């Protein structure tokens, strides 16, 4: 049997409703804010990513799907969308009539990462990019849009983490300070950071290793080295977020390893699944358009991890989904079968959707079945309950139980359902 490649997966019809719901909610919101959709090829010249993401990054060095085509041209399955959007913006001279453009695009990206649960080598992103605006109000707008999108999708505990990475004016001063600090604390750094220190010192700041986090507790932050303009920029972003009730914290460990990032960087975290996890991230990349051969046009954008978002939403949905049926009758033992069947019919005739299982299985396996059917309630009738004339009526969500006698059972159930 031929199967999918490792790290690749099918998204099956039973899961597609969620994907479509997210796409629809996102497109509507983008449309409201003046973003237009752009669709781009998934195959690009390798050079595009080598130049934009940087030759020495992990993505380009280890993770890209790169191969020669039949003529020997080096091609790459895109590992992210920003580079392609920028290429398209430059290629079609979209800046000519009006440099201010807002785009969004939804589609698959490819990275040959180590397969892990919930990580795919073909993964999906929702991207938005804004060109031609250097004002901090746009930074705030993008964070607002993300926050609103996740709210509309029912995510909870949303928090934006924001930081400013400075600009080509002020960053060198910071980088020097950071390098000095890292040199002083070299022995305490993890092997990865010892390497990063030379190529990409900024990345030491978001190292997850405990020893590095301790060693870097008092490391210099970009925020301590911002020039006046960067500082003012960041203040306005924060002020707007406060005014628009976007919950955020300033997180000095939020950095981007790539040089073209400048000023605002952000991530949106949710606690929908308990622990905090990031669902989107982005930032300003004012020098990238120029670096890829265009004019000196500022830009900012974000990417949403689509796969992760569907996972979170599937979990959230499970907990607040409408019941598949009102009552699942658990009749255990011969004595209960006949009355159980009659109650079920009577309830169904009264418009209370009910089902029961006639296989005579155990309470435990029938409770499991009730869960699977997403029953709102179970009515438990075993030998003991019948002999004592005391059936158990249990709300599967609140876990509240009522004991009801058999005589007026349908009436009693109706009353209980009404009270809820």
| 68 contacts 100 by C-beta, under 8 angstroms | no
For residue 256, the minimal CB distance to Zn ion (Å) is 15
For residue 217, the minimal CB distance to Zn ion (Å) is 13
List the beta bridge partners of residue 404. Answer: 391
Q: x/- site string to Zn ion, residues 303 to 332, per CB under 5 A?
A: ------------------------------
For residue 299, the minimal CB distance to Zn ion (Å) is 17
For residue 43, the minimal CB distance to Zn ion (Å) is 35
Q: x/- site string to Zn ion, residues 376 to 415, per CB under 5 A?
A: ----------------------------------------
- The residue among 9 and 214 lying less far from Zn ion, judged by its C-beta, is 214
- The residue among 38 and 205 lying less far from Zn ion, judged by its C-beta, is 205
* Rg of the chain taking only CA atoms, in angstroms: 28
> Binding-site residue total for Zn ion (CB under 5 A)?
11
Pick the stretch among 169-177, 311-319, 352-360, 363-371 that binds Zn ion (CB under 5 A): 169-177
Pick the stretch among 105-113, 200-208, 352-360, 378-386 that binds Zn ion (CB under 5 A): 200-208
Q: Which two tokens stand for residue 393?
A: 């009526």
Among 106, 138, 145, 167, binds Zn ion (CB under 5 A): 167
Determine phi and psi for 163, rounding to 5 degrees.
Answer: -155, 165
- The residue among 61 and 232 lying less far from Zn ion, judged by its C-beta, is 232
- The residue among 200 and 354 lying less far from Zn ion, judged by its C-beta, is 200
For residue 224, the minimal CB distance to Zn ion (Å) is 12
Distance CA 248, CA 206 (A): 18
- According to CB under 5 A, which residues from 207 to 236 bind Zn ion? 207, 209, 212, 227, 230
CA distances from 331 to 73, 134, 340, 365, 381 (A): 69, 68, 6, 12, 5
Pick the stretch among 72-80, 158-166, 279-287, 343-351 that binds Zn ion (CB under 5 A): 158-166
Among 26, 90, 109, 170, binds Zn ion (CB under 5 A): 170
For residue 255, the minimal CB distance to Zn ion (Å) is 13
For residue 67, the minimal CB distance to Zn ion (Å) is 33
Among 153, 193, 313, 380, binds Zn ion (CB under 5 A): 193
- The residue among 193 and 312 lying less far from Zn ion, judged by its C-beta, is 193
- The residue among 193 and 381 lying less far from Zn ion, judged by its C-beta, is 193
- The residue among 232 and 420 lying less far from Zn ion, judged by its C-beta, is 232
Closest CA to 136 of 99, 104, 158, 164: 164
For residue 204, the minimal CB distance to Zn ion (Å) is 6
> Which spans of this chain sit near Zn ion (rule: CB under 5 A)?
166-167, 169-170, 190, 193, 207, 209, 212, 227, 230
């Amino acid at each position: 049997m031929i199967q999918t490649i490792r790290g690749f997966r099918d998204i099956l019809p039973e899961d597609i409703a969620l994907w479509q719901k997210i796409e629809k909610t996102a497109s509507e919101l983008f449309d409201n804010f003046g973003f237009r959709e752009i669709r781009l090829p998934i195959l690009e010249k390798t050079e595009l990513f080598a130049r934009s993401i940087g030759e020495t990054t992990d993505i380009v060095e280890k993770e890209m799907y790169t191969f020669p085509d039949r003529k020997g041209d080096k091609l790459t399955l895109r590992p992210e969308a920003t580079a392609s959007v920028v290429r398209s913006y430059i290629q079609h001279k979209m800046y000519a009539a009006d440099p201010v453009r807002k785009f969004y695009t939804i589609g698959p990206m490819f990275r040959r990462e180590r397969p892990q649960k919930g990580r795919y080598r073909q993964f999906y992103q929702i991207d938005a990019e804004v060109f031609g605006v250097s004002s901090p109000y746009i930074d705030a707008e993008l964070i607002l849009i993300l926050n609103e999108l996740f709210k509309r999708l029912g995510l909870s505990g949303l928090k934006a983490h924001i930081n400013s990475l400075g600009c080509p004016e002020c960053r060198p001063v910071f980088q020097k300070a950071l390098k000095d600090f890292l040199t002083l604390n070299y022995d305490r750094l993890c092997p990865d950071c010892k390497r990063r220190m030379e190529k990409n010192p900024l990345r030491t700041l978001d190292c997850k290793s405990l020893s590095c986090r301790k060693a870097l507790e008092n490391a210099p932050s970009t925020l301590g080295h911002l020039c006046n303009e960067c500082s003012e920029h960041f203040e306005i972003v924060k002020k707007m977020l406060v005014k628009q009730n976007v919950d955020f914290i300033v997180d000095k460990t939020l950095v981007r390893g790539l040089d073209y990032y400048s000023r605002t960087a952000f991530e949106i975290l949710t606690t929908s699944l308990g622990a905090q996890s990031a669902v989107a991230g982005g930032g300003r990349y004012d020098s990238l358009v120029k670096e890829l051969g265009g004019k000196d046009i500022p830009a900012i954008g974000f990417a949403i991890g689509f796969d992760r978002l569907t996972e979170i939403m599937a979990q959230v949905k499970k907990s607040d989904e409408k019941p598949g049926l009102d009552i699942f009758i658990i009749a255990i033992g011969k004595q209960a079968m006949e009355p159980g069947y009659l109650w079920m019919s009577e309830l169904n005739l009264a418009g209370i959707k009910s089902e029961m299982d006639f296989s005579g299985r155990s309470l435990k396996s029938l409770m499991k079945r009730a869960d699977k059917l997403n029953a709102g309630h179970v009515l438990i009738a075993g030998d003991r309950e019948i002999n004592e004339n005391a059936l158990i009526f249990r709300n599967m969500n609140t876990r509240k139980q009522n004991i009801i006698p058999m005589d007026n059972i349908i009436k009693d159930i109706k009353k209980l359902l009404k009270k809820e």
